[in-house]
Copies of this chain bind each other. A is one copy, B any other.
């Protein structure tokens, strides 16, 4: 099986962490996409993912799976190792809810700031910028950080006592915030302690 991605990009990091948690990284061939050269907008790549994003997982049957939550569902249900998406209806619901909050409120919000209110990937790729929208999404990202801090005051991980897909998404979101120079306030001590705890996992580079 193959994964088309860009090493170091936020969404590819989510899938790489999920694979490492499952000990399944070596089941995949990683194929770099020349994002800066616009490869993701060319016809051959759009056949794999019409949304033009990375990562894309290509199964042995040729089916291409995009969108990190979908890819993580595939990984979690295909390989042994720690559970990432929940073992019963309530766990599944809480993990998907927190994953969505971390994705929309943090990772995607930081992405909107980066692509709309900073030079982003440069003028060749950032052809439709809306600075006011980007700034509003930066505020949303910082508001989400404060919310996640409150959640982590009560429990060790975003969906409860165990590490899950939601933690992976938020961890990638904070890395993207650092990269985009969106401040992660030091006084959010529960969030920062959680981040250090997650960063210490072997799957997250620890």
Contacts and interface: CB of A to CB of B under 8 A. Distances in A.
Of A50, A93, A136, most buried by chain B (CB within 10 Å of CB) is A93
B93 A71 contact: yes
Contacts of A132: 130, 132-133
A198 interface: no
Interface string A112-130: 0000000000000000101
A92 B67 contact: no
Interface stretch (A32-40, A94-102, A178-186): A94-102
A77 B88 contact: yes
A70 interface: yes
A193 interface: no
A57 B101 CA distance: 16
Number of copies of this kind of chain in the complex: 2
Nearest to A133: B133
A69 B96 contact: yes
Interface residues of A, number: 35
Nearest to A101: B51
Nearest to A150: B50
A12 to B, nearest CB: 16
A73 B100 CA distance: 13
A62 to B, nearest CB: 11
Interface in A53-77: 57, 59, 61, 63, 65-67, 69-71, 73-74, 77
A147 interface: yes
A206 interface: no
A92 B69 contact: no
Interface of A: 50-51, 57, 59, 61, 63, 65-67, 69-71, 73-74, 77-78, 86, 88-90, 92-97, 100-101, 105, 128, 130, 132-133, 136, 147
